[in-house]
Amino acid sequence: MNPFRPATLVAVVALAMAAQAAVGAPSPAVTHTGLDKSGMDPAVRPQDDLFLAMNGGWLASTGIPADKTAWGAVYEMRQLSDQRVKGIVEELAAKPQAAGSVSAKIGDFYSSYMDTAAIDAAGIRPLAPFKAQVSAVKNKKDLVLLMGRWAGVMDMPLGLGVGPDAKEPGVYSAGADQGGLGLDDRDYYLKADERFAKARAAYATYLHAILALDGDRNAVMDARSVMALETKIATAQWSKEANRDPVKTYNPMTPAELAAHAPSVDWKAWLAAGELPDAPFVSISQPSYAWALAKLVKDEPLDVWKAYLRVRLLDANARILPAAFRDASYQFHDVAITGVNQDQPRWQRGVASVNAALGEAVGQVYVARYFPPAYKARMVELVDNLLKAYSQSIDNLTWMSPATKVEAHAKLAKYGVKIGYPDVWRDYGALEVKAGDPVGNRARAAQFLYQRRAVRNGKPVDRTEWSMTPQTVNAYYAPDRNEVVFPAAILQPPLFDMQADDAVNYGAIGAIIGHEISHGFDDQGSQYDGDGRLRNWWTADDRKAFDAITSRLDAQYSAYEPLPGTHLNGKLTLGENIADLSGLQISYKAWKLSLGGKPAPVIDGVTGEQRFYYGFAQEWRSKTRDARALQLIVIDPHSPASFRADGAAINSDGFHEAFGTKPGDRMWKAPEDRLRLW
């Protein structure tokens, strides 16, 4: 049953039907290889650097757009998706829509965001109801209540959420996680590196600017106090590597147990303020941090905490406040932290805002217009082949015992696969959107998304739900649901091309499919079973053998130095590196299976095996600004693009066979030293 009310989708359905009628399924005939040879560098041998051989020409001739932090194949796909969504929302905004319809909500939300003249004229008045909540805080009890009220809808030091329970994945339960930092990670506050020091200075300037713009007469002192408080919060927080441990971050506690650990906080009242009054327990992801935070709540002056809350409110809304706020946000978040030298177009930020608030409603039109049924059918075939190859690989593992192989097969057999778009679309009937109220719209959208989760606490999990919109250029594996998900927008060239050579498709989208499947068997995902339950299904010896291989992968990536003096964190990126490595190797096996024992044709002097690896390298075609690269090294569990391409290929037997590598080649790695997991 479609959960949308029929009356609310008249315009959206009309758009969708017209779009579907206009789009025919592309011919499955192969018309080109799918490789952009103009971007290759003939001076670089793939035996020395696969990434540069495939992308060196493009790197030399292509600049990063002034308003972007990075550019490349995936970024171009995201730009295209944003432009398509822009067309959809502007079409809806330009026509009268039935009052209260989802079409009207999309149009009003976007138009309100885009009307900067009205935003400038309104000043900071739209924030008055939220500032009044801060002003009403008279004591620490009030503070805890407001932090609970904002915990699910704003970035607070301890956030609240509801999702599948790690030990009972068929039921929703509540969880709390660290957060609340204006800089991206604790490292920005604690490391002495000059680049982090510059980021701290930029943040201090930003804090003063937004507080002063808000009329704070003590902006200088309040900015310093907030910076000092956030530094204390950062000091107590867990590292990103520590947060990757699903066992250590699962700590269900009753309100009474929470009170026993930190009696200075009324935890029951905090949960009630966060719309979880009857929660029997909440899992505290970082217990030591939660207790340290409780002490900070008790010990730090109330005025400092109130200044902090005002900062979080101003920062969250800066892009929908007057020009001076927008510029301050741009100068800090974009120029100082990511290195851009031109602001992103307003329409693109508006698209992101609409996607966050009403993404599936927009996605319905996107799918009808840009995702023909043939695409989904082809993806089903590819995924089936990858799963078959994975099953065969498990059988052939030499480091895993028969008992654990049985469990691995059982998990693989239970994989859920979602392709393109949800079978059940989200109902936005309860979301109120007002024309000309961007601040209120943002707050109500955040509250709507949080409430729809909060009311599910303790209820059965809805397995039809998606965590990404169809227009998102990305994919994911959900360990608590044991499913892989591929939104429609990622299924387009150069990652997926219905008319391209199979070798390139398997090297590109096939490796992504394999990557997501492999997350169920990486160092984190392998701790969940086929039902999505956090359960150890390994023998001790098998886990030891697995850890021995992954420790070598950690060492390989920790040796990479993407910026002078800054190495990758092999432990932070381990899960993604495992998925890259295994995904590539499994996809290669799946491509070989698809040939049915026949040799792949040689096209333009390039063998099928070589095209497979060129296709893999081409999908990582990108370049990134140094400031953004530093940010990603700190916060991102993915390795930089060039290391993802070369780091996986260098361990793959098929790569060495395809290009005939030998000792002395920079990509050479002796067979006995190559890392093979799945």
Rounded to whole angstroms, the Cα distance separating 618 from 497 reads: 13
Neighbours of 492 (CB within 10 A): 18
- Amino acid identity of 283? S
Which runs of consecutive H residues, i.e. helices, occur in 67-151?
73-94, 102-114, 116-122, 128-135, 140-150
What is the bridge-based pairing of β-strands 172-178 and 483-487? unpaired
Rounded to whole angstroms, the Cα distance separating 509 from 34 reads: 12
Rounded to whole angstroms, the Cα distance separating 289 from 274 reads: 19
Give the pLDDT score at 133.
98
Give the pLDDT score at 11.
37
Q: Residue 29, SS3?
A: coil
Backbone angles phi and psi of 535, in degrees to 5? -150, 135
- Amino acid identity of 650? I
The length of the chain in residues reads 678
Instruction: State the pLDDT confidence band at 21, using cuts at 50, 70 and 90.
Output: very low
User: Would you call 474 exposed, middle or buried from its count of C-beta atoms within 10 A (0-12, 13-18, 19+)?
Assistant: middle
Indicate whether 25 pLDDT > 60. Answer: no
Neighbours of 586 (CB within 10 A): 27
Could you tell me which CATH class the domain 125-321 is placed in? mainly alpha
Pick the CATH number of 32-62+371-426+465-673 from 3.40.50.2300, 3.40.50.10860, 3.40.50.2000, 3.40.390.10: 3.40.390.10
When the pLDDT of each residue in the chain is averaged and rounded to a whole number, the result is: 94
- Tokens 């028969």 belong to 402
Give the pTM: 0.93
Give per-residue pLDDT as tens, 71-115.
Answer: 999 999 999 999 999 999 999 999 999 999 999 999 999 999 999
490 close to 510: Cβ distance less than 8 angstroms: no
Q: What percent of the chain has pLDDT over 70?
A: 95
- Amino acid identity of 152? G
Is the previous residue joined to 493 through a cis bond, with omega within 30 degrees of 0?
Answer: no
Reduced DSSP (H G I as helix, E B as strand, rest coil) percent helix, strand, coil of the chain, to 5: 55, 5, 35
Indicate whether 399 pLDDT > 70. Answer: yes
Instruction: State the pLDDT confidence band at 29, using cuts at 50, 70 and 90.
Output: low
Give per-residue pLDDT as tens, 532-541.
Answer: 999 999 999 9
**Structure tokens given for 479:** 């360990």
Backbone angles phi and psi of 177, in degrees to 5? -135, 150
176 close to 262: Cβ distance less than 8 angstroms: no
Give the pLDDT score at 259.
97
Cβ neighbors of 487 (< 8 A, separation 6 or more) are: 420, 421, 466, 468, 469, 470, 471, 472, 473, 474, 475
Tell me the domain boundaries of the chain. 32-62+371-426+465-673, 125-321
Indicate whether 542 pLDDT > 60. Answer: yes
Q: Residue 531, SS3?
A: coil
- Tokens 């009170």 belong to 259
Indicate whether 371 pLDDT > 50. Answer: yes
- Per-residue pLDDT, averaged over 414-424, amounts to 97
Instruction: State the pLDDT confidence band at 30, using cuts at 50, 70 and 90.
Output: low
- Amino acid identity of 164? P
Indicate whether 584 pLDDT > 80. Answer: yes
- Per-residue pLDDT, averaged over 583-589, amounts to 98
Q: Residue 309, SS3?
A: helix
Indicate whether 144 pLDDT > 60. Answer: yes
Give per-residue pLDDT as tens, 54-75.
Answer: 999 999 999 999 999 999 999 9
How far is residue 370 from each of residues 154, 367, 488, 550, measured CA to CA in Å? 33, 5, 8, 40
Q: Which residues pair with 624 in a beta bridge?
A: 70
Give the range among 20-24, 242-246, 303-307, 662-666 with minimum mean pLDDT.
Answer: 20-24
Give per-residue pLDDT as tens, 152-211.
Answer: 899 999 999 999 999 999 999 999 999 999 999 999 999 999 999 999 999 999 999 999
Q: What percent of the chain has pLDDT over 90?
A: 95
Rounded to whole angstroms, the Cα distance separating 539 from 268 reads: 40
